[in-house]
């Protein structure tokens, strides 16, 4: 587990005692987790573990009935505007407007975050260049491949220079090559921009040894900390083994 | 450095103070621009929004001209042709369909996930939803004016000044019907359910109103239906438009439209409030 007494980078996200239910079904059971700035925190869990609900709560799509969510010290309930302007998010489902061009999609998002025209154009050029999408600027979103759409969504999430990036299974549905491209793009952006990343996934090969991991099962956090610490605490030798043991699933192939 | 200390340092160093007026305007224009682009892409939507009332005006009104006599009632100062009588109702019909079209567009946005992009914007939620409504108001108002110009060429000619006096009435009526559409969109689970809106909202609102026949005629036939018409917000939108077209103000209609607008707007904003979560929870995220 993370040691709160050691020297830590600033907290991009601080979730404390968060609970949520759909009617009588408890989806999140008083969970607490932290995402340090400038680091990737992988949120691992099987389908239905509560990852997407957690993202909906962090982004204010659902209200927080129990516990608190702080984004760089701003409470999502008390100061939603200040918290949201620091968050960039890539949802699990595609959210591009397919009838608009890449440029129109990005400019629309920029305006929703209060960016001026000059800054928007500059950031659009920068990010599309970084993500290898410059040629797609005037393409309609529906003409893009799955991997390109994801990269546009990542560019869009970064347009307003967020300090916290939320990625809800951004590589789901992509082929191996596109997955690798998207993952590499995210890692590159983290190293360049120093943003904190909460990356929900159930694909263990996307987790690197230097990441922090949070393992969720049925709305609860069953382990969190550095990759090595989680593996060690579970008594396994790989992250795949630790994940299988913590989530009570059969043996999985892992890379870490 | 301890975690709490580092967090507080970042808090103060990155603190900002909301958005400027210009940023609000930029956001509003972007939302309006997107709705306009969507409208332009859907040419059939524009054509059908004109063809529908024109069919009523040219075919229905011509057929019923001899059957449905209209006595002298305010704001008219003389006997009028049936086409003249139904012109405000048909203008209201465009607004009604426009409002429901916005409802459809919101449900569509929600299903495709675009709504989430709007709702995670740091601007206040009421402002984002209001901007959506304003975009719908502008589009519906343009449609009505296009219809009125074509109607003028077909011989239905209200006073020229009426076209200008009509603008505020159209805006407030479109806002009311747009807010109603937004409220309805929060209650619709899936796009497929939109057919129900046609049957249970548009048609009853249209037929139980003075759009096609004066209320006194309905009162003579069925006092119950007359009272239902008096509860119908569309009734007041039509009367407000009718009087405005002749440069008069129907104060009762104006008060009713303003009142209904506030109720629907409040309901719509509340329905998209995450504290209530009516809209997003319907998607059953896991």
Q: Are the beta carbons of A38 and A211 closer than 8 angstroms?
A: no
Are the CB atoms for B49 and B97 separated by under 8 Å? Answer: yes
Examine the pLDDT at B199 and tell me if it is beyond 50.
yes
Q: Do B6 and A10 touch (CB under 8 A)?
A: yes
* Residue range B61-105, pLDDT digits in tens: 777 766 666 667 777 777 777 888 889 999 999 999 888 887 777
Check CB contact of B72 with chain A, cutoff 8 Å. no
> A22 — contact with chain B (CB < 8 Å)?
yes
Q: Is A4 in CB contact (< 8 Å) with chain B? A: yes
**Residue A195 contacts residue A163 (beta carbons within 8 Å):** yes
Measured between beta carbons, the chain A residues lying within 8 angstroms of B3 are 4, 8, 11, 34
- A50-64, A134-148, A206-220, A240-254: segment of lowest average pLDDT: A240-254
**Average pLDDT estimate for B22-33:** 93
Contacts A62 to B, Cβ<8 Å: 274, 277, 280-281
Listed as own residue / partner, the contacts of B49-56 with beta carbons closer than 8 Å and 24 or more positions apart are B49/B94, B49/B97, B49/B98, B49/B143, B49/B147, B50/B143, B50/B146, B50/B147, B50/B150, B52/B93, B52/B94, B52/B97, B53/B90, B53/B91, B53/B93, B53/B94, B53/B147, B54/B147, B54/B150, B54/B151, B54/B154, B56/B86, B56/B90, B56/B93
pLDDT, residue A1, reads 41
Arithmetic mean of pLDDT over chain B = 82
| Nearest chain A alpha carbon to B282 | A22
Reported as a single tens digit per residue, the pLDDT across B107-116 is 778 777 788 8
pLDDT bracket for residue A15 (50, 70, 90):
very high
Supply the pTM of this predicted model: 0.83
B158-176 pLDDT per residue, tens: 899 999 999 999 999 999 9
**Proportion of chain A above pLDDT 70, given as a percent:** 93
Contact (CB<8Å) B7/A73: yes
Which residues of chain A make contact with B6, given a CB cutoff of 8 A? 8-11
How many degrees, rounded to 5, is the angle at CA B34 between CA B28 and CA B36? 100
Which whole number is the average pLDDT over B26-51? 85
- At A46 the pLDDT is 87
| Smallest Cα distance from B266 to chain A, Å | 18
Q: B-chain residues within 8 Å CB-CB of A116? A: 22-23, 26
d(CA A182, CA A148): 9
Determine, for residues B112 and A74 on separate chains, whether the beta-carbon distance falls below 8 Å: no
Q: Which member of B9, B22, B30 has the closest CB to residue A108?
A: B30
Question: Percentage of chain B surpassing pLDDT 90?
Answer: 38
Give the burial class of B63: count Cβ atoms within 10 A of its Cβ; 0-12 exposed, 13-18 middle, 19 or more buried: exposed
| Chain B interface includes A86 (CB < 8 A) | yes
Query: Nearest-CA neighbor of B56 among B212, B201, B245, B162?
Result: B212
Say yes or no: A6 contacts chain B, CB-CB below 8 A.
no
SS3 state of residue A116:
coil
Give the residue on B whose Cα is nearest the Cα of A77. Answer: B275
- Predicted confidence (pLDDT) at residue B273 exceeds the cutoff of 70: yes
Of A11, A50, A98, the CB nearest to B3: A11
| Interchain CB contact of B119 with A (< 8 Å) | yes
Residue in chain B nearest A98 by alpha carbon = B112
Least CB-CB distance to B280: which of A56, A80, A86? A56
Q: Which of A83-97, A226-240, B98-112 has the lowest mean pLDDT?
A: B98-112
pLDDT for the residue numbered B277: 52
Q: Tell me which residue of A204, A52, A5, A58 sits closest to A213, measured CA to CA.
A: A204
Cβ contacts of A91 on chain B, cutoff 8 Å:
113, 116
B222 CA: distance to closest CA in chain A (Å):
45
Question: Which pLDDT score, from 0 to 100, does residue B217 have?
Answer: 80
- pLDDT (tens digit per residue) in B243-263: 999 999 999 999 999 999 999
Assess B124–A contact: CB distance below 8 Å, yes or no.
yes
- Vertex B121: Cα angle to A158 and B260 (nearest 5): 165
Question: How far does A237 lie from chain B, in Å, by closest CA?
Answer: 30
Which chain A positions have a beta carbon within 8 Å of B274's beta carbon?
A: 60-63
Please report the pLDDT score of residue B13 as a whole number: 35
Chain A: closest CA distance from residue B226 (Å): 42
What is the ipTM score, two decimals? Answer: 0.84
- Residue range A149-164: average pLDDT? 90
Residue partners of B46: CB distance under 8 A and separation at least 6: B39, B143
Pairing of strands A212-217, A220-226: antiparallel
Spatial CA neighbour of A210 closest among A233, A199, A226: A226
Q: Where are the domains of chain A?
A: 95-161
**Touching check for B45 and chain A: CB below 8 Å?**
no
Can you tell me the distance from the alpha carbon of A245 to that of A234, in angstroms, rounded to the nearest whole number?
A: 7
Query: A81 vs B280: CB contact, 8 Å cut-off?
Result: no
Instruction: State yes or no: pLDDT of A177 exceeds 60.
Output: yes
CB proximity A73 to B under 8 Å = yes
**Which residue, chain included where needed, has tokens 């006599």?**
B69
Pairing of strands A212-217, A40-45: parallel
Query: Please, are residues B82 and B70 in contact by the beta-carbon 8 Å criterion?
Result: yes
| Chain B residue with Cα closest to A27 | B286
pLDDT of A42 > 90? The answer is yes
B14 touches chain A (CB under 8 A): yes
Shortest CA gap B193–chain A (Å): 22
**Measured distance CA(A202)–CA(A46) in Å, rounded:** 6
Is residue B56 over pLDDT 50? yes
Chain A residues whose beta carbon lies within 8 Å of the beta carbon of residue B11 = 72-74
CB contact under 8 A, A109 and B9: no
Please name the residue of chain B whose CA is at the shortest distance from the CA of residue A5: B2
- Quick one: what percent of chain A has pLDDT higher than 90? 38
pLDDT category of residue B214 using cuts at 50, 70 and 90: confident
């Amino acid at each position: 587990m993370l040691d709160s007494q050691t020297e830590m980078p600033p907290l991009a996200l601080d979730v404390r005692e968060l609970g949520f239910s759909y009617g009588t079904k408890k989806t999140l059971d008083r969970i607490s987790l932290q995402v340090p700035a400038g680091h990737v925190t992988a949120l691992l869990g099987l389908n239905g573990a509560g990852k997407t609900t957690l993202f909906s709560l962090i982004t204010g799509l659902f209200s927080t009935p129990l516990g608190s969510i702080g984004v760089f010290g701003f409470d999502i309930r008390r100061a939603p505007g200040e918290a949201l302007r620091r968050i960039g998010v890539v949802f699990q489902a595609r959210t591009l407007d397919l009838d608009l061009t890449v440029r129109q999609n990005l400019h629309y998002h920029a305006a929703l975050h209060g960016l001026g025209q000059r800054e928007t154009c500059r950031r659009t050029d920068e990010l599309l260049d970084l993500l290898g999408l410059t040629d797609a600027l005037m393409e309609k979103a529906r003409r893009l491949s799955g991997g390109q759409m994801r990269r546009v969504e990542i560019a869009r999430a970064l347009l307003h220079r967020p300090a916290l990036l939320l990625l809800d299974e951004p590589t789901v549905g992509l082929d191996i090559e596109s997955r690798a491209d998207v993952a590499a793009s995210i890692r590159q952006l983290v190293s360049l921009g120093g943003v904190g990343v909460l990356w929900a996934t159930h694909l263990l090969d996307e987790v690197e040894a230097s990441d922090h991991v949070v393992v969720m099962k049925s709305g609860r956090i069953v382990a969190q900390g550095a990759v090595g610490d989680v593996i060690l605490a579970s008594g396994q030798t790989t992250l795949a083994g630790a994940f299988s043991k913590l989530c009570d699933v059969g043996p999985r192939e892992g890379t870490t | 450095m301890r975690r709490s200390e580092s967090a507080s340092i970042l808090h103060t160093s990155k603190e900002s103070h909301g958005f400027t007026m210009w940023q609000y305007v930029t956001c509003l224009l972007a939302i309006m621009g997107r709705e306009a682009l969507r409208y332009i892409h859907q040419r059939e939507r524009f054509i059908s929004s004109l063809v529908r009332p024109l069919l009523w005006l040219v075919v229905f009104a011509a057929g019923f001209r001899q059957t449905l006599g209209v006595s002298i009632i305010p704001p008219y100062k003389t006997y009028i042709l049936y086409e003249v009588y139904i012109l405000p109702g048909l203008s209201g019909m465009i607004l009604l369909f426009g409002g429901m079209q916005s409802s459809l567009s919101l449900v569509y946005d929600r299903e495709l996930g675009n709504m989430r992009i709007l709702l995670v914007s740091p601007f206040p939620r009421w402002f984002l939803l209001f901007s959506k409504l304003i975009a719908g108001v502008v589009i519906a108002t343009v449609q009505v004016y296009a219809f009125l110009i074509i109607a003028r060429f077909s011989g239905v000619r209200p006073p020229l000044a009426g076209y200008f006096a009509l603008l505020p009435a159209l805006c407030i009526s479109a806002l009311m019907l747009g807010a109603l559409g937004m409220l309805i969109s929060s209650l619709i689970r899936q796009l497929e359910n939109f057919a129900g809106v046609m049957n249970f909202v548009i048609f009853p609102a249209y037929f139980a109103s003075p759009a096609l026949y004066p209320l006194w005629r309905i009162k003579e036939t069925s006092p119950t239906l007359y009272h239902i018409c008096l509860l119908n917000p569309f009734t007041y939108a039509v009367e407000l438009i009718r009087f405005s077209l002749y440069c008069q103000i129907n104060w009762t209609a104006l008060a009713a439209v303003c009142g209904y607008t506030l109720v629907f707007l409040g309901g719509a904003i509340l329905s998209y409030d995450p504290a209530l979560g009516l809209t997003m929870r319907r998607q059953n995220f896991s």
